[in-house]
A = this chain, B = another copy of it.
Amino acid sequence: MAKVSLKKAAALLLEQDDIIILCHRYPDGDTIGSAFGLCMALRGLGKKANVLCGDMLPRKFSYIFEQLEPMDIREKYVVSVDVAEASLLGVLESEYADRIDLCIDHHGSNRLKAKHHYVDDKAAATGEIIYQLLAPLGAELTKGIAISLYTALSTDTGCFRYSNVTARTHQIAAKLIETGIDHSAVNLVMFETKSMARFALEREIMSGFDFRFGGRMAIIVLTNEMLERHNATDGDIDGLSAMARNIEGVDLGIMIRETAEGCKISARSSKAVNACDFCKLLGGGGHPAAAGCTIKGASVEEARQIVVETAEKIL
């Protein structure tokens, strides 16, 4: 469990061969882009390396993962990328959780057990760290690596939109684009294309928008029945809760999500309202602009009433 410098992390990798790189479950652009970017860099140095993920890789990332065929390797060295804790290894947890040699991540909350840790919570994406590893590794930045790492950066920052973006993020994006990758094609797939299930969910949510307090609060609802009817997967509901807040004049946007144990409330707020204060009143917590709580045993309509009554206290 030793923290290492970036240079030391590179040195550790250079000493090894037969390297397996683990992604987190519910794989996203950052874990996939970082893993395949690193894998290509290591193979470019003549090493054997493979990527492993406990879940199927979504088809939209095929331009990344189809660049590599699995190699026949002996798995002597285990690296994790973007994996903040053991449970996120999914089905790989029992096999690998106790034998991770090097953990590379950007989550400050990282509590994965590993022989060596390189965690940089200033990095907007783990892909930023992998880019920085290339120089001390002596690896060439190929177009294949560049498009993988660009995907990591772009997807973890909402296309350079969020507050996690730093000057360094843009500097790295510039270097990646200089290789000649078609970055806008990546963004078209990641940010402008909705699955049919997502489209159907958004349409239904929009038609059911419930504005309160003269438009200062908006409530949207997501039920299990809706998810089933539209064949929606986890990927289809990602970020839906922001829909309620992202309308001019709305200070508090609430998504009521029906779950097995009651209703999960996601609160998103403008600077005028503290979403965390709101959720604390219902036994939850979070950040000032994004918080959550659970109303156990409540139906959607019961939850709606509770949410409105609670909002009355702070709006």
Measuring CB to CB, which residues of chain A are less than 8 angstroms from any residue of chain B? 158-163, 165-171, 173-175, 177-178, 182-184, 187, 191-196, 199, 202-203, 206-207, 209, 215, 242, 246-249
Asked whether, in the complex, the Cβ of B167 is within 8 Å of the Cβ of A247, the reply is: no
Asked whether, in the complex, the Cβ of B159 is within 8 Å of the Cβ of A167, the reply is: no
Asked whether, in the complex, the Cβ of B192 is within 8 Å of the Cβ of A246, the reply is: yes
Q: Which residues of B contact A160 (CB under 8 A)?
A: 159-160, 173
Asked whether, in the complex, the Cβ of B177 is within 8 Å of the Cβ of A165, the reply is: yes
Task: Give the contacting residue for A207; candidates B161, B187, B207, B246; CB below 8 A.
Answer: B207
Asked whether, in the complex, the Cβ of B163 is within 8 Å of the Cβ of A194, the reply is: no
Assess A207 versus B203: contact at CB under 8 Å? Given A162-B184, A173-B160: yes
Q: Which residues of B contact A248 (CB under 8 A)?
A: 193-196
Task: Give the contacting residue for A193; candidates B161, B194, B206, B247; CB below 8 A.
Answer: B247
Chain A contact residues: over half helix, strand or loop, or mixed? helix
Asked whether, in the complex, the Cβ of A184 is within 8 Å of the Cβ of B196, the reply is: no
Q: How far is the CA of A192 from the CA of B207 in the complex (A)?
A: 19
Assess A194 versus B247: contact at CB under 8 Å? Given A170-B173, A207-B203: yes
Assess A161 versus B159: contact at CB under 8 Å? Given A171-B170, A194-B247, A215-B196: yes
A-B contact pairs, 7 of them (CB 8 A): A158-B187, A162-B187, A166-B177, A167-B177, A192-B246, A193-B247, A196-B247
Assess A196 versus B159: contact at CB under 8 Å? Given A165-B183, A178-B167, A207-B207: no
Q: Name 10 extra pairs, CB < 8 A, besides A194-B248, A195-B247, A195-B248.
A: A161-B184, A161-B192, A163-B183, A167-B174, A168-B174, A170-B177, A193-B247, A196-B249, A202-B206, A203-B209
Assess A192 versus B159: contact at CB under 8 Å? Given A167-B178, A174-B168, A174-B174: no
Asked whether, in the complex, the Cβ of B171 is within 8 Å of the Cβ of A174, the reply is: yes
Q: In this complex, which of A159, A195, A207 has the most chain B Cβ atoms within 10 angstroms of its Cβ?
A: A159
Q: Which residues of B contact A209 (CB under 8 A)?
A: 199, 203
Name the distance in Å between A273's Cβ and chain B's nearest Cβ: 14
Q: How far is the CA of A77 from the CA of B22 in the complex (A)?
A: 62
A196 nearest CB neighbor, chain B only: B248
Q: Which residues of B contact A167 (CB under 8 A)?
A: 174-175, 177-178
Q: How far is the CA of A175 from the CA of B196 in the complex (A)?
A: 39
Q: Which residues of B contact A173 (CB under 8 A)?
A: 160, 170
Asked whether, in the complex, the Cβ of A193 is within 8 Å of the Cβ of B246, the reply is: yes
Q: Which residues of B contact A202 (CB under 8 A)?
A: 206
Q: Which residues of B contact A177 (CB under 8 A)?
A: 165-167, 170
Q: How far is the CA of A184 from the CA of B160 in the complex (A)?
A: 9
Q: How far is the CA of A15 from the CA of B169 in the complex (A)?
A: 38
